[in-house]
A and B are shown apart, each in its own frame.
Chain A
Amino acid sequence: MADPNDYLFAQSEFPVPQRIVDGVDRARRQIAAPGTWLTGAERVAVAQLARATQQGSGSADRSGLSAVGGDGTVAVAVNAHGITAQTVDGYEAAGLTPETYVEIVGVVARTIAIDTTTRGLGLDPVPLPAPEEGEPTRQRQDRAKRRSAFVPTVGAARATSALSSVLAEDVAQENLHGALYLSYPEMGNISIIKGLPRWQLELIAARTSKINECFY
């Protein structure tokens, strides 16, 4: 049987670079694998809830998630701009550790990234694999501290370190960023043409950020 990811992109009316096909495939497999603080089943539940919420389902299935984990998932999916330090502190008071919250942020953000990409191509959402068995790694980042962001970071809080308290999420963010847009080293090249000229890619990025009310 054909891989669902390859099958989906084969339906595209438009050419899809292999970097995007592979990047989406890596992302969906990584979502379904055991994470750092969540199991594969919990991560798939987060992705499914994020997907359903963004599609407008107000009563999306929250089974498999704690109440606060579900709340965090929904907030990141559809109201990230409204999240404050007090929101995140409230999650922690309700039992969601900052690192688990960071993992939820990463899973939700990548799910919506791949869904936006496929919708842009006129395709259905890519199927998520069945959750992989296994325990979370519980790998701590000893150098992570809460500095100027709502969550701990390794070093100064910036776009490339936002998820750094959970190494696997930090790596997954960088991988998908490179597949869908530009790799971090490519970000320094204002002349790059990667499917589209840099200015055209940035124009789309800027309008997307404006709609999301994200100034960064």
Chain B
Amino acid sequence: MLRASSLNSGIDLNMRAIGDPTANPGPADAVILLGFAEALVTRDDAGLVTARTALAEQLGPDAVAPAAGAAGNFEMMNRILDATGVPVPRSMGAMAPELGLPVFTGR
């Protein structure tokens, strides 16, 4: 869906940056958003202050709550899916290298 939604918005996003923090995602907004998510979810409190300020300056103060909500939602969904063992289709494993993720063989 990310590939489809970014292409739909005319954004040339380097998908590898999802899983590989050393890869450049492309648009400046993407760098800021990935940094915010990283600091928030890894509980890097000092980094989060910097990332939040950068997010508000680059994308505007209205961007902070939706960004925080998106991360919050996936903190919820990740736990639900892993804890209940909802199977991930093996076909999704083919996407792993493109996303900079380890090889995945399904659950």
Contact = CB atoms under 8 A, between A and B. Distances in A.
A binds B: yes
B78 A196 contact: no
Contact of B84 (A151, A194, A201, A203): A151
Contacts, number: 246
Interface string A180-203: 110000000011001111111111
Interface residues of A, number: 73
B71 A121 contact: no
B78 A83 contact: no
The majority secondary structure among interface residues of chain B is: helix
A10 B48 CA distance: 20
B74 A106 contact: no
A199 B69 contact: no
Given A85-B85, A210-B18, A216-B88, A203 B2 contact: yes
Contact of B86 (A76, A120, A208, A216): A216
A215 B90 CA distance: 11
Interface in A159-216: 159, 162-163, 173, 176-177, 179-181, 190-191, 194-212, 214-216
A106 B72 contact: no
A196 B18 contact: no
A202 B69 CA distance: 12
Contacts of A181: 69-70, 73-74
B64 A204 contact: no
B83 A105 contact: yes
Interface in B30-46: 30, 33-34, 36-38, 40-43
A121 to B, nearest CB: 5
4 interchain residue pairs of minimum CB distance: A120-B68, A195-B66, A150-B85, A117-B72
Interface of B: 1-2, 4-6, 8-9, 11, 13, 18-19, 25, 29-30, 33-34, 36-38, 40-43, 48-49, 52, 56, 59, 61-88, 92-93, 96, 99, 101, 104, 107
Given A121-B68, A209-B74, 14 more contacts: A13-B61, A76-B79, A113-B73, A119-B40, A120-B48, A157-B87, A177-B73, A180-B76, A191-B9, A199-B9, A203-B33, A208-B71, A208-B78, A210-B99
